[in-house]
Structures are given as C-alpha cells and as structure tokens.
Amino acid sequence: MPSDYIDKLLKAVVGFKVVVSEIHAKEKLGQHKNPDDQHGVFHALHTSPSSESKELADYMQKRGLGIGS
C-alpha cells in the first residue's frame, strides 16, 4: 500500500476503552442429553490421556453437570 494511503488510515484510527461491569454466562456441558450419553462423554473425558479433558471431567463432577445418572 502506498505510504500516503497508510498515513490517511492511521489518522482515522480511534482508540476506546470498554469497562465490563457484569457478565452473564451459562454452562453448557450436555445437561440436555440423555443420561447414557452424558455418562459416555464424562467417562471418555475422565479416562482421556489429555490433562485438559481430565480437568473438565473433574469440573463436571464437582458441579454435578452432564455426568449422567
């Protein structure tokens, strides 16, 4: 791009700041699935060699979400 074009673009750049005062969130861990599906996913996560998968399984168990019956 030509330098004069870049200079024009840079003059139009505006900075701003956003202050977050509140967050609304939902946990989506398969609670809407049937208990057998939940248990299968939980078991796969729990027995996975991935540490992240095991952490998610531990979190699900701690919260009692999406672990089946």
Of the listed ranges 5-9, 26-30, 45-49, the least confidently predicted one is 26-30
pTM over 0.85: no
**For residues 38-53, average pLDDT:** 95
Q: Looking at the predicted structure, is the pLDDT value of residue 53 above 90? A: yes
| Domain residue limits, the chain | 24-69
Answer yes or no: are the C-beta atoms of 45 and 54 closer than 8 Å. Answer: yes
Q: DSSP characters for the chain?
A: --HHHHHHHHHT----------------SSTTS-HHHHHHHHHHHHH-S-HHHHHHHHHHHHHT-S---
- Within 8 A by CB and 6+ apart from 41, the residues are 30, 33, 66
Overall average pLDDT of the 31-45 stretch: 91
